[in-house]
């Protein structure tokens, strides 16, 4: 067990993306259902192509354009986090609880880490007058599988 890594069921009250969307009364078309079901799970950080593949398994006629539109809508609604990866395409994360990311520099695996908020308060300096809106911390390392290969 890795200290700090979120354990399964650590937040029993946390609803899946699909249940959150139902709860807020989002009009659930077959396409939207496939996309939100594709984003069901823990430690999920999928690229748009990966969401597409998973959604297609549920709804073969879903299009990549629909995937992109729905992902953008969900990000704008605050129901999905877009993570800009240092390399490669953006990834989409349905876990809206505050958390940071642990990323493997070799295989790109990403785990959610539930750390105390880092000491990143910018007031009054050195904030350069910026209003702080969000903090995204990525801790880089090597996952156990990649460390075994080294």
Query: CA 87, 48, 17: angle at the middle one, nearest 5?
Result: 115
Distance of CA 148 to the CA centre of its chain: 26
Among 93, 102, 103, 113, binds Zn ion (CB under 5 A): 93
Please tell me whether residue 104 binds Zn ion under the rule CB under 5 A.
Answer: yes
- Which window, 11-19, 49-57, 58-66, 105-113, contacts Zn ion (CB under 5 A)? 105-113
Please tell me whether residue 107 binds Zn ion under the rule CB under 5 A.
Answer: yes
Q: By C-beta, is 58 or 146 nearer to Zn ion?
A: 146
* HSE-CB for 115 with a 13 A CA cutoff: 16
Q: By C-beta, is 58 or 104 nearer to Zn ion?
A: 104
Q: By C-beta, is 65 or 120 nearer to Zn ion?
A: 120
Contact 113, 102 (CB under 8 A): yes
CB of 42 to Zn ion, least distance (A): 9
Tell me the helices (H) and strands (E) count for the chain, helix number first: 5, 6
What does DSSP say about strands 100-104 and 138-141: parallel, antiparallel, or unpaired? parallel
Please tell me whether residue 5 binds Zn ion under the rule CB under 5 A.
Answer: no
Rounded distance, CA 26 to CA 93, Å? 19
Please tell me whether residue 46 binds Zn ion under the rule CB under 5 A.
Answer: no
By CB under 5 A, name the binding residues for Zn ion.
93, 95, 104, 106-107, 109, 112, 143, 146
């Amino acid at each position: 067990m890795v200290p700090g890594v979120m354990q399964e069921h650590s937040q029993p009250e946390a609803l899946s993306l699909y249940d959150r969307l139902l709860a807020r009364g989002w009009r659930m078309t077959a396409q939207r259902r496939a996309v939100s079901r594709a984003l069901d799970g823990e430690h999920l950080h999928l690229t748009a192509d990966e969401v597409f593949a998973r959604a297609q398994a549920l709804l073969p006629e879903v299009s990549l354009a629909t995937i992109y539109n729905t992902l953008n809508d969900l990000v704008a609604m605050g129901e999905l986090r877009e993570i800009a990866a240092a390399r490669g395409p953006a990834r989409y994360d349905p876990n809206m609880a505050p958390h940071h990311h642990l990323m493997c520099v070799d295989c790109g695996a990403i785990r959610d880490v539930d750390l105390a908020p880092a000491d990143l308060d910018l007031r009054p300096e050195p904030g350069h007058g910026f209003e702080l809106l969000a903090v995204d911390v990525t801790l880089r390392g090597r996952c156990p599988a990649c460390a075994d290969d080294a």
